C-alpha cells in the first residue's frame, strides 16, 4: 500500500512504547513511574500515525466518485 512511512512510524512508536511500558512494570527501577507514563504516552501518539496510515490508504473508486452530489 501507500504511506509506508506512517506505517513504520506506527510500528516503531508501538515497539518503543511497549518496551518502555513493560520495562517500567517488570524492572525494579527507581524511576519506574516515568517509564510507565512515557510508554503510555508514546503508544497513545502512535495512534496518530496509524490514523494517518489508514486515511492515506483509502481509495475512492470511479463509481463512488460519480455518486457524489454537487451542493
Q: Residue written as cell 496510515?
A: 53
CA distance to 1, 38, 53, per residue, from 64 (Å): 20, 42, 21
CA distance 6 to 46: 9
> Is the separation of the CB atoms in 39 and 21 below 8 Å?
yes
Which pLDDT score, from 0 to 100, does residue 27 have? 94
CA distance 51 to 34: 26
Which pLDDT score, from 0 to 100, does residue 71 have? 66
In the predicted structure, residue 66 carries a pLDDT above the cut 90: no
The 10s digit of each residue's pLDDT in 20-64 is: 999 999 999 999 999 999 999 999 999 999 999 999 988 878 787
Which pLDDT score, from 0 to 100, does residue 18 have? 98
Q: Is 2 helix (H, G, I), strand (E, B) or coil?
A: coil
Amino acid at each position: 500500500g501507500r504511506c509506508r512511512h506512517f506505517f513504520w512510524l506506527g510500528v516503531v512508536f508501538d515497539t518503543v512504547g511497549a518496551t518502555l511500558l513493560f520495562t517500567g512494570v517488570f524492572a525494579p527501577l527507581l524511576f519506574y513511574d516515568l517509564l510507565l507514563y512515557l510508554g503510555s504516552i508514546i503508544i497513545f501518539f502512535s495512534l496518530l500515525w496509524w490514523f494517518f496510515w489508514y486515511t492515506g490508504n483509502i481509495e475512492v473508486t470511479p463509481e463512488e466518485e460519480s455518486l457524489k452530489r454537487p451542493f
